[in-house]
Structure 1
Amino acid sequence: MSSTIDRRAVLRGLSGLATTSVLSGCAHSSASPRTNVIRYQGWSGEVLYPELAEDLGLLGDVRLEWIGNTTSGPQDIQATVTGDTDIGGAFNGAIVRLAAAGAPVTAVVGYYGADALSYGGYYAMQRSPIRGPRDFIDKKVGVNTLGAHYEDVLAIYLERGGLTQDEVDSVQLVVVPPVSAEQALRSGQLDVSSLSDVKREKALAHGGLRSVFSDFGMLGAFTAGCYVLRDEFIERNPETTRQLVTGTANAVHWAQTRPRDEVVARYSDIIRRRGRNEDLSTVSYWRSPGVPSPGGLIQDREFTTWLDRLTTSGRVAPGAVDVRGLYTNEFNPFRASAQN
C-alpha cells in the first residue's frame, strides 16, 4: 500500500501536469483526423455508459476502442486532454481544476453521483472511536487519488464541523487503489477509508464496518462527475460527438429506468464477453446509477459547489472559470427537461 503522502505537494504536481497537458493537447490536436472510433480507458470490473450504449446498439456507426484501464478520474481526463484518449470521465471539481489551467475540454454528460442507494461514504471499523469531524484530526484517511471527489467532500465535512485550516491539514490523505481500500482499513493501515458503490456494498457485506458520514447524507442527491471531450474533437467530429453523447445519455437513462436485476444481468454479460480477466462478483452489488438528472443532464450547481471552494481557498483565481463554459447539453436528447 502507498505510504502517507503530502497532498499539497502532489496537488502542486497535478497542477503542473494539467498545464503541461494543455500544451501537449493543443499540439496534438492540430493533426487529429476526423474519426468515428472513440479511444477510452475503462475501469476493472465495471461497465462504463459508453460501453453499455455500444452493447445496446445506441452508438450507430461509432465504435469504441479500449486502450486499458484507469484507477483515477484526474488521470483519465488528463489522458483526454493530451489526446491519448478521446473521452474521459472525472469528478467535476477535477474538471474545474483542469479548466482553470486552460485545458480545452468540455463536459458533455454526467455519469456518476450520489443518491439514496449509490454514494460515497467514509467508513471506520466498528470499534473505532471516530464518529465526528474532530475525530479526524491527525488520522489517516484512504482516498483513491488526490485533488478529487473524496478529498473535496471530506474538506467540506471538516470545515462544516468547525475545524481550522491547520486541523484540516493535519488529516493525512493516503492514496489507496479502490480494490485495496477495504483491506487497508481492516488491517489498521488506515483509520478511515472512502468506499463507494459496488466496492462499498461488497465491503459492508463482509461486516465489521461503520459509516461515519457520506456525500449523499451531507449534500443530497447530485451528479458528481462528467465525461469530457476535447473541444477540437467536438469541432472536427460533430456527428460522431452527437452519436456518442446521445447514445451515452440514452444508456444512462436505460440504467435509470430498468429494473435493477436486468441492469446487473446486462453488466455481468458485458464483463464476461469482453474477456478482460475481471472479477465478475463485484457487479452483483450494483444498486443504482447514482445520477439524479435524466440522461445525465448537467447543471451549473454540479460545478459551482467545487468552484466556490477552489476560489475561496485561493487555488483558482476569482473569475478564472466560467461555469457555463465548462459543459454543454447540446448533444443530450434529454436537454428539453434541463432546469438551467
Structure 2
Amino acid sequence: MQSFHVRKQVRKIALTAAALLLASSLVLSGCAEKKTAAASKDGSGLEVSELRYQGSVGSVSFPELADDLGYLAPLKLKYIGNTISGPQDIQSVVTGDTDFGGAFNGAVVKLLAAKAPIKSVISYYGVDDQTWTGYYVLDDSPIKSAKDLIGKKIAVNTLGAHHEFVIKEYLHRAGLTADEIKQVTLVVVPPVTTEQTLRAKQIDVAALGGILRDSALERGGIHPLFKDRDLFGNFSAGTYVLTDKFIKKNPKAARKFVEATAKAIEWARTTPREEVVARFTKIIENRGRKEDAKAVQFWKSTGVAGKGGLIADQEFQTWIDWLVKEGTLKEGQLQAKDLYTNEFNPYAGEAK
C-alpha cells in the first residue's frame, strides 16, 4: 500500500513539473513573439527590436552616436555594462551575452582561428594623422632602441590586443630574436594610471593615446620611443563583429546596424570637430552613468581609414601574416576575404 501511494505521489510531482515546463515554454514563446512583433510593428520588418552591447566609460561609440542621431531607429541599444578589453568584448558576442562587440583585428583573427563563429562587419577605430598611440619613455630613460627593451616592462591596457601586436611587430622589425622578445615583459595597467606608473618608474614604457597622451605631454618629461603610425601608416585597426547565427537569423537587423554605424562614422568625419565634441558630451550627460565627459573634449578624428568603416583585405592580412610568423597560425589556414563582409555597408560600392 505504501508503495502505491509513493508511486502516486511521484506521478503527481512529474505531472506538475511537466505542466510548469509547458507553461514556461509558452511564456518564453510569447515573449519572443512579442519581441518580434515589437520589432515589426512600425513596418520595418526588422527581426529584433534591440541590440545588447558593452560601452566604455567616458567615451561614445559610433553605434551610440548612430542611435542619438536617429540613424539606428527603430532598433534600440541595450547597454549591459562597460569593458576596456577588445578581446573580452568580442568573446561576449561569442558567448551570447551581447549582440555585437569590437576589437583589434589581430584579436579578431586569433578568435576566428579558434573556430569562433563570428564575422567582422564594419571598422570602428584606427590610426591616422591625428589619432594614434605612442609608446613613451621618460626623458632620462636609458632606453633608446628596441634592443634596450630586453628585460624591461611595457604597460598595456590588455593582453592579446592592439598594443601587444604593435610592440611585437616593432621588436620583430628591429631584428630581435624570439628568445629576446620573450624577455620583454608586457604588464596590464589601467589606462588612467599608466602615466603615473611610468613616472613612478614601476614600468619602463607606457602605451599612451588620445587624452591620456595629450595630457601627459602637457606635463612634459616624456617622449615616444616609437608610434603605431610609424609602423603601419594610416589604417583601420579594429572591427565590430556579429555571430554567423545572428546574421543568418537577423539579416535586416544586421544591415540596419551596419548602415547606421557607417553613417555615424561619416557624420563624425564630415562635421566640424566642435559640433562632434558637443554631441558626444550631450550623449554622455544624458545617459546618466555618472561618468566624466572630459575625455571627449580631446577627440580629434575617427581614425577610420575606409569610408563608412569599409573593411579592406590588408587590414586582416597584416595580422594573419604576423600570426603565421609567430607560429600561431599555419600558412593558408585563414584567408582575409573570408573573415569579414562589406555587404551591409551602404558605401560598399565606393570601395577601392
TM-score of the aligned structures, taking structure 1 as reference length: 0.88
- 2:288 aligned with 1:275, yes or no? yes
Which residue is equivalent to 1:227? Answer: 240
Deviation at 1:338, TM superposition (A): 1.0
Moved more, 71-80 or 162-171: 162-171
Residue correspondence of structure 1 range 78-227 to structure 2 within 5 A: 78-227=91-240
Which segment is superposed worse, 46-55 or 276-285? 276-285
Aligned to 1:19: none
Any unmatched runs of 5+ in structure 2? 1-31, 37-46
Displacement of 1:131: 2.3
Shift, 1:241, TM fit: 0.9
AA matched with 2:232: L
SS state at 1:106 partner: strand
Alpha-carbon distance in 2 for matches of 1:43, 1:199: 15
Gaps of 5+ in 1: 1-30
Aligned partners of 1:58, 1:191: CA distance in 2, in Å?
44
In the alignment, structure 1 residue 52 sits paired with structure 2 residue 65: yes
How far is the alpha carbon of 1:217 from its aligned partner? 1.5
For residue 58 of structure 1, give the secondary structure of its aligned residue in structure 2: coil
Q: CA deviation at 1:178?
A: 1.5
Question: Which secondary structure state, in structure 2, belongs to the residue aligned with residue 227 of structure 1?
Answer: strand
Structure 1 counterpart of 2:149, one-letter code? F
CA distance in 2, matches of 1:144, 1:230: 25
The question of whether the paired residues in 2 share the 8 Å contact of 1:311 and 1:317 is answered with: yes
Change (3 A) 1:263 1:309: same
Aligned pair 1:334/2:347, yes or no?
yes
Local SS of the residue matching 2:116: coil
- What amino acid is aligned across from residue 321 of structure 1 in structure 2? L
Q: CA RMSD in A?
A: 1.4
Tell me by how many angstroms 1:79 deviates.
0.2
Kindly name which structure, 1 or 2, has the bigger radius of gyration based on alpha carbons. 2
What CA distance in whole angstroms lies between the structure 1 residues aligned with 2:73 and 2:281? 23
Give the conservation status (yes or no) of the 8 Å contact 1:81–1:104.
yes
Q: Tell me if structure 2 keeps the 8 A contact 1:36–1:61.
A: yes
* Residue deviations 1:70-127 (CA, integer Å, cap 9, x gap): 0100000000011000000000000000000000111011011100100121011122
Give secondary structure in 2 for the equivalent of 1:84: coil
- Note if 1:251 corresponds to 2:251: no
Q: Distance in 2 between matches of 1:116 and 1:52?
A: 23
Number of equivalent positions:
309
CA distance in 2, matches of 1:81, 1:308: 24
Counterpart amino acid of 1:336?
A: G
Secondary structure in 2 aligned to 1:150?
helix
CA distance in 2, matches of 1:161, 1:277: 44
The one-letter amino acid paired with 1:307 is: I
Q: Which amino acid aligns with 1:225?
A: G
Q: Distance in 2 between matches of 1:211 and 1:117?
A: 15
Mapped to 1, the partners of 2:95 and 2:178 lie a distance apart of 34
> Could you give the per-residue CA deviations for residues 209-261 of structure 1, whole angstroms, max 9, x where no partner exists?
21111111221000000000111111111111111110001111111111111
Deviation for aligned residue 1:197? 2.1
| Aligned equivalents of 1:167, 1:249: Cα separation in 2 | 42
Aligned partners of 1:202 and 1:285 also within 8 Å:
no
- Which has the higher mean CA deviation after the structures are superposed, 276-285 or 64-73? 276-285
Which AA in structure 1 matches 2:203? L
Any idea what SS the aligned residue of 2:186 has? strand
